[in-house]
Amino acid sequence: MGRKRVKGVIAFSVLLFVESWAGIALALPPAGDTPEEVLRTEIILDARSPIDGQPMTPAAYAELQNQLNASIEPPAELSDKLVNTVRLLKLRRFIKKYLPFIPLK
């Protein structure tokens, strides 16, 4: 009876060991898959318009990107009172988070 139990425990241990390694092997990407590091360094020769998705040349894509970036207006200047209020609200949030025993309304 004891030998059967030992054999069963050993078989169960081997099964768990094999299953754990099989799970790791399944988590790996396929061997033919190109790594992301390589894909990031490749130069893309065919581009699509971010506006309508039409194919474009790299030169036209770069020109469109420059036009889109140039048309962005800088943010408007905020009043000093508003900036000060936001700063005080951030300070209040910090105090309530890290020093909760200080009573704040």
- Quote the mean pLDDT of the chain: 81
Cα dihedral sign, 20-26-32-38: negative
% of the chain at pLDDT higher than 90: 17
Comparing 66 with 71, the larger pLDDT belongs to: 66
Beta-carbon contacts of residue 48 (< 8 Å; ≥ 6 apart): 54, 55, 56
Q: Residue 87 pLDDT > 90, yes or no?
A: yes
Q: Is the pTM of this model over 0.85?
A: no
Mean pLDDT of 92-100: 90
- 55 phi/psi in degrees, rounded to 5: -65, 145
Amino acid (one-letter) located at 68: L
Mean pLDDT, residues 49-58: 86
- Is the pLDDT at 21 greater than 70? The verdict is no
